[in-house]
A and B are shown apart, each in its own frame.
Chain A
Amino acid sequence: MQKILVCLKRVVDYNVRIRVKPDGTGVVTDGVKMSINPFDEIALEEALRIRERGDASEVIALSIGTDDSQQQLRTGLAMGADRAILVQTDGEVEPLGAARAILKVIEKESPDLVILGKQAIDDDCNQTGQMLAALWDRPQATFASKLEFADGKVTATREVDAGLEVIEVDLPAVVTTDLRLNEPRYVKLPDIMKAKKKPLESIPVADLGAEIAPQLSSSAYEPPSGRSRGIMVNDAAELVSALRDKGLIE
Protein backbone atom coordinates (compact mmCIF):
# COMPACT_ATOMS: atom_id res chain seq x y z
CA MET A 1 0.00 0.00 0.00
CA GLN A 2 1.28 3.45 -0.83
CA LYS A 3 -0.75 6.13 0.84
CA ILE A 4 -3.17 6.33 3.72
CA LEU A 5 -5.34 9.41 4.11
CA VAL A 6 -6.59 10.12 7.65
CA CYS A 7 -9.32 12.65 8.47
CA LEU A 8 -8.89 14.72 11.63
CA LYS A 9 -11.74 16.93 12.82
CA ARG A 10 -11.20 19.71 15.33
CA VAL A 11 -13.85 19.35 18.06
CA VAL A 12 -14.52 20.47 21.63
CA ASP A 13 -12.42 18.22 23.90
CA TYR A 14 -14.39 15.28 25.24
CA ASN A 15 -13.69 16.31 28.85
CA VAL A 16 -15.34 19.71 28.46
CA ARG A 17 -18.76 20.14 30.04
CA ILE A 18 -20.91 21.38 27.17
CA ARG A 19 -23.14 24.38 27.79
CA VAL A 20 -25.83 25.75 25.50
CA LYS A 21 -25.70 29.53 24.95
CA PRO A 22 -28.50 31.29 26.85
CA ASP A 23 -29.90 32.73 23.60
CA GLY A 24 -30.13 29.25 22.08
CA THR A 25 -27.95 30.03 19.06
CA GLY A 26 -25.41 27.29 19.68
CA VAL A 27 -23.13 25.80 22.32
CA VAL A 28 -20.37 27.75 24.08
CA THR A 29 -17.07 27.21 22.26
CA ASP A 30 -15.22 30.44 23.16
CA GLY A 31 -12.23 29.76 25.35
CA VAL A 32 -13.05 26.05 25.40
CA LYS A 33 -10.35 23.39 24.96
CA MET A 34 -10.32 21.99 21.41
CA SER A 35 -8.81 18.65 20.37
CA ILE A 36 -8.65 16.08 17.62
CA ASN A 37 -11.90 14.10 17.60
CA PRO A 38 -11.06 11.00 19.73
CA PHE A 39 -12.11 8.56 16.98
CA ASP A 40 -9.82 10.38 14.53
CA GLU A 41 -6.85 10.02 16.87
CA ILE A 42 -7.55 6.28 16.73
CA ALA A 43 -7.72 6.52 12.92
CA LEU A 44 -4.33 8.21 12.81
CA GLU A 45 -2.80 5.74 15.27
CA GLU A 46 -3.97 2.85 13.08
CA ALA A 47 -2.50 4.45 9.95
CA LEU A 48 0.82 5.00 11.72
CA ARG A 49 0.94 1.38 12.90
CA ILE A 50 0.24 0.16 9.34
CA ARG A 51 3.10 2.34 8.04
CA GLU A 52 5.44 1.34 10.87
CA ARG A 53 5.03 -2.35 10.13
CA GLY A 54 5.87 -1.64 6.49
CA ASP A 55 2.43 -2.03 4.94
CA ALA A 56 2.21 1.59 3.81
CA SER A 57 4.73 4.28 2.93
CA GLU A 58 2.97 7.57 3.62
CA VAL A 59 0.34 8.89 6.02
CA ILE A 60 -1.43 12.15 5.14
CA ALA A 61 -3.60 13.97 7.68
CA LEU A 62 -6.56 15.96 6.34
CA SER A 63 -8.85 18.43 8.00
CA ILE A 64 -11.65 20.61 6.67
CA GLY A 65 -12.24 23.77 8.64
CA THR A 66 -10.93 27.17 9.61
CA ASP A 67 -7.22 28.02 10.02
CA ASP A 68 -7.60 26.99 13.68
CA SER A 69 -7.68 23.36 12.52
CA GLN A 70 -3.96 23.72 11.77
CA GLN A 71 -3.41 23.11 15.50
CA GLN A 72 -4.96 19.65 15.27
CA LEU A 73 -3.07 18.91 12.06
CA ARG A 74 0.18 19.90 13.82
CA THR A 75 -0.70 17.49 16.61
CA GLY A 76 -1.30 14.85 13.95
CA LEU A 77 2.10 15.56 12.44
CA ALA A 78 3.66 15.31 15.90
CA MET A 79 2.00 11.93 16.38
CA GLY A 80 3.75 10.83 13.18
CA ALA A 81 1.81 11.80 10.04
CA ASP A 82 4.18 12.62 7.16
CA ARG A 83 2.32 15.67 5.89
CA ALA A 84 -0.97 17.47 6.32
CA ILE A 85 -3.62 19.16 4.20
CA LEU A 86 -6.09 21.75 5.41
CA VAL A 87 -9.12 22.37 3.23
CA GLN A 88 -9.76 25.89 4.40
CA THR A 89 -13.32 27.14 4.88
CA ASP A 90 -14.92 29.54 7.32
CA GLY A 91 -18.40 28.17 6.86
CA GLU A 92 -20.18 25.33 8.59
CA VAL A 93 -19.49 21.91 7.07
CA GLU A 94 -22.04 19.09 7.13
CA PRO A 95 -21.02 15.44 6.61
CA LEU A 96 -22.03 15.42 2.92
CA GLY A 97 -20.00 18.57 2.30
CA ALA A 98 -17.03 17.10 4.16
CA ALA A 99 -17.32 13.89 2.11
CA ARG A 100 -17.37 15.90 -1.12
CA ALA A 101 -14.26 17.85 -0.08
CA ILE A 102 -12.45 14.65 0.97
CA LEU A 103 -13.33 13.11 -2.42
CA LYS A 104 -11.59 16.04 -4.18
CA VAL A 105 -8.46 15.41 -2.13
CA ILE A 106 -8.69 11.70 -2.95
CA GLU A 107 -8.80 12.56 -6.66
CA LYS A 108 -5.51 14.47 -6.23
CA GLU A 109 -3.73 12.03 -3.91
CA SER A 110 -5.10 8.59 -4.92
CA PRO A 111 -4.79 6.97 -1.48
CA ASP A 112 -5.22 3.20 -1.08
CA LEU A 113 -6.99 3.56 2.22
CA VAL A 114 -8.92 6.39 3.88
CA ILE A 115 -9.53 6.17 7.62
CA LEU A 116 -12.04 8.37 9.43
CA GLY A 117 -13.59 8.30 12.88
CA LYS A 118 -16.97 6.60 13.12
CA GLN A 119 -18.44 9.79 14.51
CA ALA A 120 -17.47 13.33 15.38
CA ILE A 121 -18.27 13.91 19.05
CA ASP A 122 -19.67 17.39 18.35
CA ASP A 123 -22.38 16.68 15.76
CA ASP A 124 -22.55 12.92 16.57
CA CYS A 125 -23.67 12.39 12.95
CA ASN A 126 -21.85 9.15 12.11
CA GLN A 127 -22.20 9.77 8.36
CA THR A 128 -19.08 11.14 6.68
CA GLY A 129 -17.19 7.87 6.04
CA GLN A 130 -20.26 6.13 4.63
CA MET A 131 -21.06 9.12 2.40
CA LEU A 132 -17.49 9.31 1.17
CA ALA A 133 -17.49 5.61 0.30
CA ALA A 134 -20.70 6.11 -1.72
CA LEU A 135 -19.36 9.11 -3.64
CA TRP A 136 -16.03 7.37 -4.28
CA ASP A 137 -17.89 4.18 -5.23
CA ARG A 138 -15.61 2.12 -2.99
CA PRO A 139 -16.21 -0.30 -0.08
CA GLN A 140 -16.79 0.84 3.48
CA ALA A 141 -15.84 -0.94 6.68
CA THR A 142 -17.46 1.10 9.44
CA PHE A 143 -17.06 0.83 13.25
CA ALA A 144 -13.89 -1.22 12.87
CA SER A 145 -12.23 -2.76 15.92
CA LYS A 146 -9.67 -4.85 14.02
CA LEU A 147 -8.08 -4.61 10.56
CA GLU A 148 -5.94 -7.15 8.71
CA PHE A 149 -4.37 -6.53 5.31
CA ALA A 150 -3.42 -9.13 2.69
CA ASP A 151 -3.37 -9.30 -1.12
CA GLY A 152 -4.99 -5.92 -1.73
CA LYS A 153 -7.82 -6.72 0.67
CA VAL A 154 -8.79 -5.73 4.19
CA THR A 155 -10.48 -8.07 6.60
CA ALA A 156 -12.31 -5.84 9.04
CA THR A 157 -13.96 -6.78 12.30
CA ARG A 158 -16.86 -4.42 12.94
CA GLU A 159 -18.61 -3.67 16.24
CA VAL A 160 -22.31 -4.12 15.54
CA ASP A 161 -25.34 -4.41 17.82
CA ALA A 162 -25.41 -8.20 17.46
CA GLY A 163 -21.72 -8.72 18.24
CA LEU A 164 -18.70 -8.65 15.94
CA GLU A 165 -19.21 -8.77 12.19
CA VAL A 166 -16.32 -9.70 9.90
CA ILE A 167 -16.29 -8.46 6.31
CA GLU A 168 -13.71 -8.52 3.56
CA VAL A 169 -13.30 -5.52 1.26
CA ASP A 170 -11.07 -4.75 -1.72
CA LEU A 171 -8.70 -1.79 -1.60
CA PRO A 172 -8.99 1.13 -2.05
CA ALA A 173 -11.50 1.37 0.75
CA VAL A 174 -12.92 3.60 3.46
CA VAL A 175 -12.60 2.51 7.09
CA THR A 176 -14.21 4.18 10.11
CA THR A 177 -12.85 3.49 13.58
CA ASP A 178 -14.44 2.28 16.77
CA LEU A 179 -12.89 2.91 20.18
CA ARG A 180 -11.35 -0.52 20.62
CA LEU A 181 -9.28 -0.49 17.40
CA ASN A 182 -6.20 0.74 19.31
CA GLU A 183 -4.95 3.11 21.98
CA PRO A 184 -3.42 6.24 20.48
CA ARG A 185 0.16 7.12 21.45
CA TYR A 186 1.11 10.21 23.41
CA VAL A 187 2.91 12.99 21.63
CA LYS A 188 6.45 13.62 22.91
CA LEU A 189 8.02 17.07 23.08
CA PRO A 190 10.79 16.43 20.50
CA ASP A 191 8.12 15.25 18.08
CA ILE A 192 6.26 18.54 18.47
CA MET A 193 9.46 20.35 17.45
CA LYS A 194 9.99 18.02 14.48
CA ALA A 195 6.38 18.44 13.40
CA LYS A 196 6.92 22.17 12.87
CA LYS A 197 9.12 21.35 9.88
CA LYS A 198 6.71 18.92 8.26
CA PRO A 199 4.68 20.18 5.28
CA LEU A 200 1.18 21.54 5.93
CA GLU A 201 -0.60 22.62 2.78
CA SER A 202 -3.62 24.89 2.99
CA ILE A 203 -6.11 24.78 0.11
CA PRO A 204 -9.08 27.18 0.02
CA VAL A 205 -12.22 25.10 -0.47
CA ALA A 206 -13.19 27.19 -3.51
CA ASP A 207 -10.02 25.99 -5.30
CA LEU A 208 -11.14 22.37 -4.91
CA GLY A 209 -14.43 22.95 -6.67
CA ALA A 210 -16.43 20.92 -4.15
CA GLU A 211 -20.04 21.88 -3.42
CA ILE A 212 -20.04 21.99 0.36
CA ALA A 213 -22.75 24.50 1.27
CA PRO A 214 -24.93 23.11 4.11
CA GLN A 215 -28.33 21.74 3.04
CA LEU A 216 -30.04 21.60 6.42
CA SER A 217 -30.50 24.42 8.87
CA SER A 218 -30.32 24.38 12.65
CA SER A 219 -32.77 26.82 14.17
CA ALA A 220 -32.49 26.40 17.92
CA TYR A 221 -30.28 24.80 20.53
CA GLU A 222 -31.47 23.85 23.98
CA PRO A 223 -30.14 21.91 26.96
CA PRO A 224 -31.58 18.42 27.40
CA SER A 225 -34.37 17.98 29.91
CA GLY A 226 -32.20 16.91 32.78
CA ARG A 227 -32.72 14.16 35.32
CA SER A 228 -32.38 15.17 38.90
CA ARG A 229 -31.01 13.51 41.99
CA GLY A 230 -33.51 11.13 43.55
CA ILE A 231 -33.49 9.43 46.92
CA MET A 232 -30.73 7.55 48.74
CA VAL A 233 -31.46 4.29 50.51
CA ASN A 234 -29.36 2.67 53.22
CA ASP A 235 -29.36 -0.99 52.31
CA ALA A 236 -30.55 -3.69 49.94
CA ALA A 237 -33.82 -4.25 51.81
CA GLU A 238 -34.76 -0.56 51.49
CA LEU A 239 -33.83 -0.66 47.82
CA VAL A 240 -36.08 -3.64 47.17
CA SER A 241 -39.02 -2.03 48.96
CA ALA A 242 -38.50 1.24 47.06
CA LEU A 243 -38.62 -0.72 43.79
CA ARG A 244 -41.72 -2.60 44.93
CA ASP A 245 -43.43 0.69 45.88
CA LYS A 246 -42.85 1.92 42.33
CA GLY A 247 -44.24 -1.32 40.95
CA LEU A 248 -40.97 -2.06 39.17
CA ILE A 249 -40.49 -5.52 40.65
CA GLU A 250 -42.87 -8.08 42.06
Chain B
Amino acid sequence: MSKILIIAEHNGSELNPSTAKCVSCASDMSAEAIDIVVLADGAGAIATAAAAIESVSRVLTVDRADNAAPLAAVLAPQIAALAESYDCVLAPSTTFGKDILPRAAALLGVGQISDIMAVLGPRQFKRPIYAGNAIVTVDVPAGMKIVATVRVASYRAAADAASPAPIEAADVDAAIPTHTRFVELQSGSSDRPDLQTARRVVSGGRGVGSEANFEIIYSLADKLGAGVGASRAAVDAGFVPNDMQVGQTGKIIAPELYMAFGISGAIQHLTGIKDAGTIVAVNKDAEAPIFEIADIGLVGDLFQVIPELDKALGG
Protein backbone atom coordinates (compact mmCIF):
# COMPACT_ATOMS: atom_id res chain seq x y z
CA MET B 1 0.00 0.00 0.00
CA SER B 2 1.42 3.32 -0.95
CA LYS B 3 0.86 7.04 -0.84
CA ILE B 4 0.96 8.93 -4.12
CA LEU B 5 1.58 12.65 -4.64
CA ILE B 6 0.57 14.25 -7.95
CA ILE B 7 2.01 17.61 -8.97
CA ALA B 8 -0.83 19.74 -10.36
CA GLU B 9 -0.22 21.51 -13.67
CA HIS B 10 -1.90 24.90 -14.09
CA ASN B 11 -1.47 28.23 -15.82
CA GLY B 12 -1.78 30.37 -12.72
CA SER B 13 -5.55 30.40 -12.71
CA GLU B 14 -6.86 27.12 -14.13
CA LEU B 15 -6.05 23.47 -13.52
CA ASN B 16 -4.73 21.69 -16.64
CA PRO B 17 -6.66 18.51 -17.61
CA SER B 18 -3.33 16.62 -17.52
CA THR B 19 -3.70 16.52 -13.73
CA ALA B 20 -6.91 14.45 -13.86
CA LYS B 21 -5.14 12.08 -16.29
CA CYS B 22 -2.39 11.55 -13.72
CA VAL B 23 -5.11 10.67 -11.20
CA SER B 24 -6.36 7.94 -13.59
CA CYS B 25 -2.84 6.51 -13.79
CA ALA B 26 -2.46 6.69 -9.99
CA SER B 27 -5.79 4.89 -9.57
CA ASP B 28 -4.27 1.89 -11.39
CA MET B 29 -1.52 1.64 -8.77
CA SER B 30 -3.69 0.37 -5.86
CA ALA B 31 -2.71 3.28 -3.65
CA GLU B 32 -3.87 3.91 -0.13
CA ALA B 33 -3.96 7.69 -0.74
CA ILE B 34 -3.77 9.96 -3.79
CA ASP B 35 -2.92 13.55 -2.90
CA ILE B 36 -2.53 16.46 -5.31
CA VAL B 37 -0.26 19.40 -4.55
CA VAL B 38 -0.90 22.82 -6.09
CA LEU B 39 2.24 24.96 -6.06
CA ALA B 40 1.04 28.43 -7.02
CA ASP B 41 0.73 32.08 -6.19
CA GLY B 42 -3.00 32.09 -5.57
CA ALA B 43 -3.91 28.40 -5.42
CA GLY B 44 -7.59 28.90 -4.56
CA ALA B 45 -9.58 28.08 -7.69
CA ILE B 46 -6.96 25.61 -8.91
CA ALA B 47 -7.13 23.67 -5.64
CA THR B 48 -10.92 23.67 -5.76
CA ALA B 49 -10.80 22.14 -9.24
CA ALA B 50 -8.25 19.53 -8.10
CA ALA B 51 -10.40 18.63 -5.09
CA ALA B 52 -13.31 17.88 -7.42
CA ILE B 53 -11.50 14.98 -9.14
CA GLU B 54 -12.65 11.46 -8.26
CA SER B 55 -10.37 9.27 -6.06
CA VAL B 56 -8.39 12.23 -4.73
CA SER B 57 -7.81 11.93 -0.97
CA ARG B 58 -6.52 15.41 -0.24
CA VAL B 59 -5.34 18.57 -1.99
CA LEU B 60 -2.31 20.37 -0.59
CA THR B 61 -1.55 23.98 -1.45
CA VAL B 62 1.79 25.71 -1.34
CA ASP B 63 0.91 29.33 -1.93
CA ARG B 64 3.82 31.75 -2.31
CA ALA B 65 4.92 34.53 -4.66
CA ASP B 66 7.93 32.43 -5.80
CA ASN B 67 5.48 29.96 -7.35
CA ALA B 68 3.91 32.46 -9.74
CA ALA B 69 5.74 30.95 -12.73
CA PRO B 70 6.49 27.23 -13.17
CA LEU B 71 10.29 27.44 -12.79
CA ALA B 72 11.89 24.03 -12.23
CA ALA B 73 14.67 25.41 -10.06
CA VAL B 74 12.06 26.95 -7.76
CA LEU B 75 9.51 24.12 -7.71
CA ALA B 76 11.84 21.09 -7.56
CA PRO B 77 13.20 21.69 -4.02
CA GLN B 78 9.63 22.12 -2.73
CA ILE B 79 8.52 18.92 -4.49
CA ALA B 80 11.51 17.03 -3.11
CA ALA B 81 10.67 18.22 0.42
CA LEU B 82 7.01 17.19 0.05
CA ALA B 83 8.02 13.83 -1.46
CA GLU B 84 9.62 12.74 1.80
CA SER B 85 6.26 11.51 3.09
CA TYR B 86 5.18 9.76 -0.14
CA ASP B 87 6.09 6.48 -1.83
CA CYS B 88 5.40 7.78 -5.31
CA VAL B 89 5.44 11.19 -7.04
CA LEU B 90 3.72 11.70 -10.40
CA ALA B 91 3.59 14.61 -12.85
CA PRO B 92 2.18 14.78 -16.38
CA SER B 93 4.54 14.19 -19.28
CA THR B 94 3.88 17.66 -20.66
CA THR B 95 6.66 20.25 -21.01
CA PHE B 96 5.79 21.32 -17.42
CA GLY B 97 6.28 17.86 -15.93
CA LYS B 98 9.27 17.03 -18.11
CA ASP B 99 11.05 20.16 -16.93
CA ILE B 100 10.41 19.96 -13.18
CA LEU B 101 10.20 16.30 -12.21
CA PRO B 102 13.70 15.05 -13.18
CA ARG B 103 15.13 17.93 -11.15
CA ALA B 104 13.14 16.78 -8.11
CA ALA B 105 14.10 13.13 -8.73
CA ALA B 106 17.80 14.01 -8.74
CA LEU B 107 17.39 15.95 -5.47
CA LEU B 108 15.83 12.77 -4.04
CA GLY B 109 18.64 10.67 -5.50
CA VAL B 110 16.32 8.39 -7.46
CA GLY B 111 15.96 7.57 -11.13
CA GLN B 112 12.80 8.65 -12.90
CA ILE B 113 10.45 6.70 -15.15
CA SER B 114 9.34 8.88 -18.06
CA ASP B 115 6.02 8.52 -19.89
CA ILE B 116 4.16 5.73 -18.06
CA MET B 117 1.66 4.37 -20.61
CA ALA B 118 0.39 1.43 -18.55
CA VAL B 119 0.56 0.25 -14.95
CA LEU B 120 1.20 -3.50 -14.72
CA GLY B 121 1.56 -3.60 -10.94
CA PRO B 122 2.35 -1.21 -8.09
CA ARG B 123 6.04 -1.21 -9.11
CA GLN B 124 5.88 -2.29 -12.76
CA PHE B 125 5.16 -0.01 -15.71
CA LYS B 126 5.24 0.13 -19.49
CA ARG B 127 6.81 3.06 -21.33
CA PRO B 128 7.62 3.83 -24.96
CA ILE B 129 11.21 4.19 -26.21
CA TYR B 130 12.72 4.85 -29.67
CA ALA B 131 9.90 7.23 -30.64
CA GLY B 132 7.33 4.63 -29.65
CA ASN B 133 8.84 1.91 -31.85
CA ALA B 134 9.41 -0.27 -28.84
CA ILE B 135 7.65 -0.61 -25.50
CA VAL B 136 9.67 -1.55 -22.46
CA THR B 137 8.55 -2.91 -19.10
CA VAL B 138 10.31 -1.14 -16.22
CA ASP B 139 10.53 -2.52 -12.69
CA VAL B 140 11.18 -0.37 -9.66
CA PRO B 141 12.97 -2.25 -6.87
CA ALA B 142 11.17 -2.62 -3.53
CA GLY B 143 11.82 0.23 -1.15
CA MET B 144 12.76 2.75 -3.83
CA LYS B 145 10.63 5.86 -4.19
CA ILE B 146 8.79 5.93 -7.52
CA VAL B 147 9.16 9.20 -9.42
CA ALA B 148 7.45 9.14 -12.79
CA THR B 149 5.81 11.19 -15.52
CA VAL B 150 2.52 10.02 -17.01
CA ARG B 151 2.03 9.89 -20.78
CA VAL B 152 -1.20 11.86 -20.83
CA ALA B 153 -2.35 10.53 -24.23
CA SER B 154 -2.57 7.06 -22.65
CA TYR B 155 -5.11 8.09 -20.00
CA ARG B 156 -8.58 9.57 -19.84
CA ALA B 157 -9.20 12.28 -17.28
CA ALA B 158 -10.59 10.89 -14.01
CA ALA B 159 -14.27 11.67 -13.47
CA ASP B 160 -15.70 14.26 -11.10
CA ALA B 161 -15.93 13.30 -7.46
CA ALA B 162 -19.30 12.91 -5.73
CA SER B 163 -18.03 15.14 -2.93
CA PRO B 164 -14.88 17.26 -2.95
CA ALA B 165 -11.66 16.23 -1.20
CA PRO B 166 -10.38 18.38 1.68
CA ILE B 167 -7.94 21.19 0.87
CA GLU B 168 -5.05 21.94 3.25
CA ALA B 169 -2.20 24.42 3.18
CA ALA B 170 1.14 22.59 3.36
CA ASP B 171 4.22 23.84 5.13
CA VAL B 172 7.27 23.37 2.98
CA ASP B 173 10.77 24.00 4.17
CA ALA B 174 12.96 24.43 1.08
CA ALA B 175 15.63 26.89 0.00
CA ILE B 176 14.46 28.75 -3.11
CA PRO B 177 17.25 29.81 -5.48
CA THR B 178 17.35 33.25 -7.13
CA HIS B 179 19.50 32.27 -10.12
CA THR B 180 16.49 31.65 -12.37
CA ARG B 181 13.94 34.33 -13.31
CA PHE B 182 10.77 34.19 -15.37
CA VAL B 183 10.62 36.89 -18.06
CA GLU B 184 7.51 36.23 -20.15
CA LEU B 185 5.31 33.71 -21.92
CA GLN B 186 4.72 34.39 -25.59
CA SER B 187 1.59 32.45 -26.20
CA GLY B 188 0.78 31.28 -29.67
CA SER B 189 -2.65 30.28 -28.42
CA SER B 190 -5.95 31.01 -30.06
CA ASP B 191 -9.62 30.55 -29.22
CA ARG B 192 -9.57 27.12 -30.85
CA PRO B 193 -9.84 23.97 -28.74
CA ASP B 194 -6.63 23.00 -26.98
CA LEU B 195 -4.64 20.52 -29.06
CA GLN B 196 -4.00 18.16 -26.15
CA THR B 197 -7.65 17.83 -25.13
CA ALA B 198 -9.55 18.47 -28.39
CA ARG B 199 -11.84 15.64 -29.55
CA ARG B 200 -11.03 16.49 -33.16
CA VAL B 201 -7.74 17.76 -34.59
CA VAL B 202 -7.02 18.98 -38.12
CA SER B 203 -3.31 19.13 -39.00
CA GLY B 204 -1.29 20.55 -41.87
CA GLY B 205 2.21 19.72 -43.07
CA ARG B 206 4.78 21.05 -45.49
CA GLY B 207 2.27 20.33 -48.26
CA VAL B 208 0.17 23.29 -47.09
CA GLY B 209 2.92 25.47 -48.49
CA SER B 210 2.73 28.74 -46.56
CA GLU B 211 1.46 30.60 -43.51
CA ALA B 212 -1.26 32.20 -45.64
CA ASN B 213 -2.35 28.84 -47.03
CA PHE B 214 -2.84 27.56 -43.48
CA GLU B 215 -6.07 29.59 -43.42
CA ILE B 216 -7.70 26.75 -45.30
CA ILE B 217 -6.74 24.37 -42.45
CA TYR B 218 -8.02 26.81 -39.80
CA SER B 219 -11.34 27.27 -41.57
CA LEU B 220 -11.93 23.53 -41.84
CA ALA B 221 -10.97 23.13 -38.17
CA ASP B 222 -13.43 25.85 -37.17
CA LYS B 223 -16.16 24.17 -39.15
CA LEU B 224 -15.50 20.92 -37.24
CA GLY B 225 -14.88 22.58 -33.88
CA ALA B 226 -11.40 21.04 -34.03
CA GLY B 227 -7.99 21.96 -32.63
CA VAL B 228 -5.22 22.63 -35.14
CA GLY B 229 -1.90 20.78 -35.30
CA ALA B 230 1.08 20.70 -37.63
CA SER B 231 4.13 18.68 -38.58
CA ARG B 232 7.61 19.76 -37.63
CA ALA B 233 8.29 20.74 -41.23
CA ALA B 234 5.36 23.17 -41.15
CA VAL B 235 6.61 24.71 -37.88
CA ASP B 236 10.23 24.89 -39.07
CA ALA B 237 9.10 26.62 -42.25
CA GLY B 238 7.36 29.25 -40.14
CA PHE B 239 3.82 28.44 -41.31
CA VAL B 240 2.62 28.06 -37.69
CA PRO B 241 3.93 28.53 -34.11
CA ASN B 242 5.88 25.82 -32.28
CA ASP B 243 3.08 24.95 -29.87
CA MET B 244 1.17 23.36 -32.74
CA GLN B 245 3.79 20.69 -33.43
CA VAL B 246 2.56 17.11 -33.09
CA GLY B 247 5.00 14.23 -32.69
CA GLN B 248 7.94 12.77 -30.83
CA THR B 249 9.28 16.19 -29.93
CA GLY B 250 5.98 18.05 -30.04
CA LYS B 251 2.65 17.11 -28.52
CA ILE B 252 1.48 13.53 -28.14
CA ILE B 253 -2.26 13.61 -28.67
CA ALA B 254 -5.19 11.19 -28.70
CA PRO B 255 -8.22 12.87 -30.29
CA GLU B 256 -11.21 10.83 -31.50
CA LEU B 257 -10.58 12.15 -35.01
CA TYR B 258 -7.24 13.24 -36.52
CA MET B 259 -7.15 14.63 -40.05
CA ALA B 260 -3.72 15.10 -41.68
CA PHE B 261 -3.38 17.25 -44.79
CA GLY B 262 -0.10 17.37 -46.72
CA ILE B 263 1.78 15.36 -44.08
CA SER B 264 3.96 12.49 -45.32
CA GLY B 265 3.81 10.42 -42.13
CA ALA B 266 7.39 10.36 -40.83
CA ILE B 267 7.82 8.04 -37.86
CA GLN B 268 8.46 11.02 -35.54
CA HIS B 269 5.10 12.51 -36.53
CA LEU B 270 3.19 9.23 -36.23
CA THR B 271 4.47 8.80 -32.65
CA GLY B 272 2.32 11.76 -31.73
CA ILE B 273 -0.95 10.35 -33.11
CA LYS B 274 -0.75 6.59 -32.46
CA ASP B 275 -3.53 6.76 -29.90
CA ALA B 276 -5.95 8.76 -32.04
CA GLY B 277 -9.32 7.08 -32.59
CA THR B 278 -9.61 7.54 -36.35
CA ILE B 279 -6.83 8.88 -38.55
CA VAL B 280 -7.73 10.48 -41.88
CA ALA B 281 -4.96 11.29 -44.37
CA VAL B 282 -5.20 13.46 -47.46
CA ASN B 283 -2.04 13.49 -49.55
CA LYS B 284 -1.43 13.87 -53.26
CA ASP B 285 1.21 11.11 -53.18
CA ALA B 286 -0.43 7.65 -53.09
CA GLU B 287 2.86 6.24 -51.77
CA ALA B 288 3.02 8.53 -48.72
CA PRO B 289 3.74 6.41 -45.61
CA ILE B 290 0.87 8.01 -43.71
CA PHE B 291 -1.53 5.85 -45.75
CA GLU B 292 -0.04 2.74 -44.11
CA ILE B 293 -1.59 3.72 -40.79
CA ALA B 294 -4.55 5.86 -41.86
CA ASP B 295 -8.03 4.48 -41.18
CA ILE B 296 -9.39 6.52 -44.08
CA GLY B 297 -7.11 7.69 -46.88
CA LEU B 298 -7.77 9.99 -49.81
CA VAL B 299 -5.25 10.58 -52.57
CA GLY B 300 -5.71 14.13 -53.76
CA ASP B 301 -4.64 17.75 -53.71
CA LEU B 302 -5.57 19.30 -50.37
CA PHE B 303 -6.40 22.61 -52.04
CA GLN B 304 -9.07 20.81 -54.03
CA VAL B 305 -10.21 18.39 -51.32
CA ILE B 306 -10.74 20.89 -48.49
CA PRO B 307 -13.18 23.15 -50.40
CA GLU B 308 -15.07 20.00 -51.44
CA LEU B 309 -15.13 18.85 -47.82
CA ASP B 310 -16.50 22.23 -46.81
CA LYS B 311 -19.27 21.79 -49.32
CA ALA B 312 -20.02 18.17 -48.33
CA LEU B 313 -20.15 19.18 -44.67
CA GLY B 314 -22.72 21.85 -45.55
CA GLY B 315 -23.29 25.21 -43.88
Residues of A within 8 A of B (CB): 12, 14, 17-18, 20, 27, 94-96, 99, 118-119, 121-128, 130-135, 137-140, 142-143, 145, 155, 158-170, 173, 178-180, 214-224, 226-240, 242-243, 246, 248-249
Q: A161 contacts B293, CB within 8 Å?
A: no
- Main secondary structure on B side of the interface with A: mixed
Q: Looking across the interface, which residue of chain B has its beta carbon closest to that of A156?
A: B183
Q: A166 contacts B103, CB within 8 Å?
A: no
Q: Which 9 A-B pairs have the closest CB atoms?
A: A236-B308, A230-B295, A131-B106, A130-B102, A134-B106, A127-B102, A18-B133, A166-B183, A163-B187
- Main secondary structure on A side of the interface with B: mixed
Q: Which residues of B contact A238 (CB under 8 A)?
A: 298
- Flag the segment in B28-36, B50-58, B81-89, B109-117 that touches A: B109-117
Residues in B271-315 with C-beta less than 8 Å from chain A: 274, 277-280, 282, 291-300, 305, 308-309, 311-313
Residues of B within 8 A of A (CB): 11, 71-73, 76, 94-96, 98-107, 109-115, 124, 128-141, 144, 177, 179-189, 196, 200, 224, 232, 235-236, 241-243, 248-249, 251, 256-257, 267-268, 274, 277-280, 282, 291-300, 305, 308-309, 311-313
Q: Looking across the interface, which residue of chain B has its beta carbon closest to that of A100?
A: B106
Shortest C-beta distance, B37 to chain A (Å), equals: 18
Q: Which residues of A contact B105 (CB under 8 A)?
A: 96, 127, 131
Q: A119 contacts B249, CB within 8 Å?
A: yes
Q: A231 contacts B183, CB within 8 Å?
A: no
Q: A227 contacts B279, CB within 8 Å?
A: yes
Q: A215 contacts B144, CB within 8 Å?
A: yes
CA gap between A223 and B129 in the complex, in Å: 10
Q: A145 contacts B242, CB within 8 Å?
A: yes
Q: Which residues of A contact B112 (CB under 8 A)?
A: 95-96, 125, 127, 131
CA gap between A214 and B257 in the complex, in Å: 40
Q: Looking across the interface, which residue of chain A has its beta carbon closest to that of B180?
A: A139
Q: Looking across the interface, which residue of chain A has its beta carbon closest to that of B126?
A: A222
Among the listed B114, B184, B188, B293, which residue makes an inter-chain contact with A127, where contact means beta carbons less than 8 Å apart? Answer: B114
Shortest C-beta distance, A234 to chain B (Å), equals: 8
CA gap between A164 and B183 in the complex, in Å: 11
CA gap between A28 and B172 in the complex, in Å: 47
Among the listed B134, B138, B232, B297, which residue makes an inter-chain contact with A179, where contact means beta carbons less than 8 Å apart? Answer: B232
Q: A166 contacts B186, CB within 8 Å?
A: yes
**Which of A12, A229, A230: most chain B Cβ within 10 A?**
A230
Q: B136 contacts A236, CB within 8 Å?
A: no
Q: A248 contacts B257, CB within 8 Å?
A: yes
Q: A159 contacts B95, CB within 8 Å?
A: yes
Shortest C-beta distance, B184 to chain A (Å), equals: 5
Q: A170 contacts B179, CB within 8 Å?
A: yes
Q: B130 contacts A18, CB within 8 Å?
A: yes
**Which of B11, B94, B185, B282: most chain A Cβ within 10 A?**
B185
Q: Which residues of A contact B294 (CB under 8 A)?
A: 229-230
CA gap between A93 and B312 in the complex, in Å: 55
